[in-house]
Chains A and B, each alone.
Chain A
Amino acid sequence: MRSQPRAECPSRFDFSASANSAIAVRRVRVSDILQVIALDERVTGLAKPDYWKDALSRYGGSRLHDRAFLVAKRRGPQSESTLLGFIIGEIRAWEFGSAPCGWILALSVEPRARLSGVGQSLFNAIATEFKEAGVNRMRTMVARDNRLHLMFFRSEGMMAGPYLQLEKELD
Chain B
Amino acid sequence: MKLQISSQIAIFALLELAAVPERQLAVAEIGEKYGVSSHHLAKVMQALARAGLVRAVRGARGGYQFCGNARRTTLLDVIRLFEELGSAEGRSEKWEATAEGVALREVLTEMDDIAGATLGSITLATMRKLVGRRQAYTGQASVISH
Tell me the A residues contacting B by CB distance below 8 Å: 144-145, 147, 150-151, 153-155, 157, 160
Q: Are A155 and B126 in contact (CB under 8 A)?
A: yes
Q: Are A150 and B121 in contact (CB under 8 A)?
A: yes
Report how far A157 CA is from B114 CA in the complex, Å. 18
Report how far A154 CA is from B126 CA in the complex, Å. 7
Number of interface residues of B (CB under 8 A): 14
Q: Are A160 and B123 in contact (CB under 8 A)?
A: no
Q: Are A144 and B113 in contact (CB under 8 A)?
A: yes
Report how far A160 CA is from B114 CA in the complex, Å. 10
Q: Does B120 contact A (CB under 8 A)?
A: yes
The secondary-structure label for the interface of chain B is helix
A151 with B118, Cβ < 8 A, contacts A144-B113, A157-B129, A157-B133 known = no
Q: Does B131 contact A (CB under 8 A)?
A: no
A155 with B120, Cβ < 8 A, contacts A144-B113, A144-B114 known = no
In the complex, the chain A residue whose C-beta lies closest to that of B71 is: A155
Q: Are A155 and B118 in contact (CB under 8 A)?
A: no
By CB atoms of chain A within 10 A, which of B117, B125, B129 has the most? Answer: B117
By CB atoms of chain A within 10 A, which of B71, B74, B121 has the most? Answer: B121
> Which residues of A have CB within 8 Å of B122?
151, 154
Question: Would you mind naming 23 contact pairs between A and B with Cβ atoms under 8 Å apart?
Answer: A144-B113, A144-B114, A144-B117, A145-B117, A147-B121, A150-B117, A150-B121, A151-B121, A151-B123, A151-B126, A153-B121, A154-B121, A154-B122, A154-B123, A154-B126, A155-B71, A155-B123, A155-B125, A155-B126, A155-B129, A157-B129, A157-B133, A160-B118
